[in-house]
Amino acid sequence: MDFFTEYASFLAKTVTLVIAILVVLASFAALRSKGRRKSAGQLQVSKLNDFYKGLRERLEQTLLDKDQLKALRKGEAKTEKSAKKQKNKPETKSRVFVLDFDGDIKASATESLRHEITALLTLATPKDEVVLRLESGGGMVHSYGLASSQLARIRDAGVPLTVCIDKVAASGGYMMACIGDKIISAPFAILGSIGVVAQLPNVNRLLKKHDIDFEVLTAGEYKRTLTVFGENTEKGREKFQEELDITHRLFKNFVARYRPQLAIDEVATGEVWLGIAALENQLVDELKTSDEYLAQKAKQAEVYHLHYAERKSLQERIGMAASGSVDRVLLSWWSRLTQQRFW
């Protein structure tokens, strides 16, 4: 028993020491970086044709014996050589630029998206294509309005834009998706939610119950319509609802502008549809996963994946690592608590 007590004491001291060292290092890094100009990010470009070729070759090496593999490589070399003889000039393939957008409530990925679009528009032509792999359940109106405006730059430049949705593009996510010349969805992806929602608690009665006063001073009749701590009025609620209705009308007009084939009043009810039903309602143009679409494109075009990565400071990396660890632990325990067993 004494051994376990001593071991637990030693373990606690070790953990405390490690945490203290990390805190000191983070503080030192923060002091060094204070006052420095934020370093620029870097555009990372990878050719997906090579990625798909590597997957195929790895599978061939596993499944085929030495003689079969040698014959296959010889046949490929012969085909390539004969193709070069038939054409004096190699045929210029079209290019496909692949972007990713994984949206949160603030559409934080917009910062990277704007740089990626700026870069590709310097080279892209109407013969090329931009494919956006989009995943977003929506969020703040102004944030997704900016993200949508970035995608509109591609269409304004005359470059075909295809939006692929594998999981979800709802609300602000669909606002972005509708800008595409073509929307491709997985059969059970969630789409739609063309509506606006706003909610906030009000604890005014609780404060009054404990004899706590809260003053809200404004200049302008509608500077503050609804508040968390103050007493809300019917006039304020009506004004707030009016603002929501205006935002919804602008949202509907925006979607109708880019997808005129939609019966906008029928689909702009805030409802969501799975991909199969979304196709029937013309919210999407085709049912297919992004993997299938890009694999087909790689056979006839040069496919490039673009990602703008911002350089992060030491304290940001430590914070992200800690936050990721906490998220994984909480998600793991939540999954265990809510797991349904089927026998």
In angstroms, how far is CA 203 from the centroid of its own chain?
A: 35
pLDDT of the residue at 170: 95
Complete domains list, the chain, with CATH: 94-193+271-312 (3.90.226.10), 195-262 (no CATH)
Q: Which residues pair with 178 in a beta bridge?
A: none
pTM as predicted: 0.78
H helix intervals, 164-303: 172-177, 204-209, 234-258, 264-267, 275-280, 290-298
Q: Which residues belong to the active site? A: 171, 223
Q: How high is the mean pLDDT in each 10-residue block of the chain (343 residues)?
A: 68 76 69 57 91 86 80 76 62 88 93 95 94 95 95 96 96 96 96 92 88 85 86 90 95 95 93 96 96 93 93 62 66 58 41
